Structure 1
């Protein structure tokens, strides 16, 4: 069998599984659990790098494979999945379709740029990455569910979701530095996820 098989890619593949399940749920109208699947994709992707780095004897090919497979899965989980979810929420007009296309295109560009720069960075240093250029696509898993969590507070779910998707997509390709989460940042993210989950599960 081709490919590299080890525990280092389990979370990456699990993220893809959640994305496929979430897409299916959105198609049949179970949006609550579709958004939860999106958040689970984000949780998996947040920690997959830590799991991968825990294996100290990875070959260069394994490292490169990890970079590529991570971005390919991210494209589905945080690019295609959110766009399909938006379409199934009712954002199916020509204007919204254009935004969904631009969102996915921005995710593709962001991920391809990351692959190139990350491979170069790893060749030059063994230090951990301290910041990202542009908004990481993973953040969509925690930003977009706000549309569902706040749908009774702010105007319609579909328009709020579409607006957040447009803003997030633009930030994917805007050149600014985003510090990599660690320590208190991860704790804050954990609190945010819990709040969103409670809002989605208990007020639906």
Structure 2
């Protein structure tokens, strides 16, 4: 099988599987399950990097592979999945389409930028990253479920507009 397999990328794959399952739950109109899947994906992403950095015996290929797999999976988990959730809400068609496109574009641009900067950082230092520039795409795994849980406090006819902004 092509690729590198260790427990850090397996956790990334579990997050991806959770998101893909969550997307199917949006289509089935099981939004509570979908948001639980989004949270689970966020939890997996929270720990996969920490686990990977604790593995001292990784080769350079495994490190680069891990960064790329993490970003590709993040695009699905925190770009495509939230876009599908956003599109699901019955607001004005152009609003939900534009919001979904912007979510995916924002995730792609953020992840591409992170990969370029991370590659440069790793060429210059072996230290662990101490800070991020910008807002990580995984933040959506906290914001959307909280918004979903609090939707009963927002009038039903206004919620899709709040959700999409």
Same structural fold, with TM-score higher than 0.5 when normalized by the shorter chain: yes
Q: Aligned partners of 1:125, 1:83: CA distance in 2, in Å? A: 36
Deviation at 1:161, TM superposition (A): 1.9
Aligned to 1:41: 41
SS at match of 2:152: coil
Distance, in Å, in 2 between the alignment partners of 1:46 and 1:148 is: 21
User: Are residues 15 and 92 of structure 1, via their aligned partners in 2, closer, same or farther at CA, if it must alter by over 3 Å?
Assistant: farther
The corresponding residue for 2:110 is 110
Q: Which residue of 2 aligns with 1:17?
A: 17
What are structure 2's unaligned runs of at least 5 residues? none
> Structure 1, residues 54-103: CA drift from partner, whole Å, max 9, x if none?
21011111100000000000000000000001112224601220121011
Contact 1:87 1:97 in 2 (8 A): yes
Equivalent residues of 2:21, 2:37 under 8 A apart: yes
- Contact 1:110-1:137 at 8 Å conserved across structures: yes
Mapping for residues 107-186 of structure 1, pairs under 5 Å: 107-156=107-156, 157-163=159-165
| Contact kept in structure 1, 2:83 and 2:103, CA below 8 Å | yes
For 1:121, what is the secondary structure of its paired residue?
Answer: helix
C-alpha distance 5-95 of structure 1, shift in aligned 2 (>3 A): same
Query: 2:68 corresponds to which residue?
Result: 68
Residue matched to 2:5: 5
TM superposition score normalised by structure 1: 0.77
Q: TM-score, normalised by structure 2?
A: 0.94
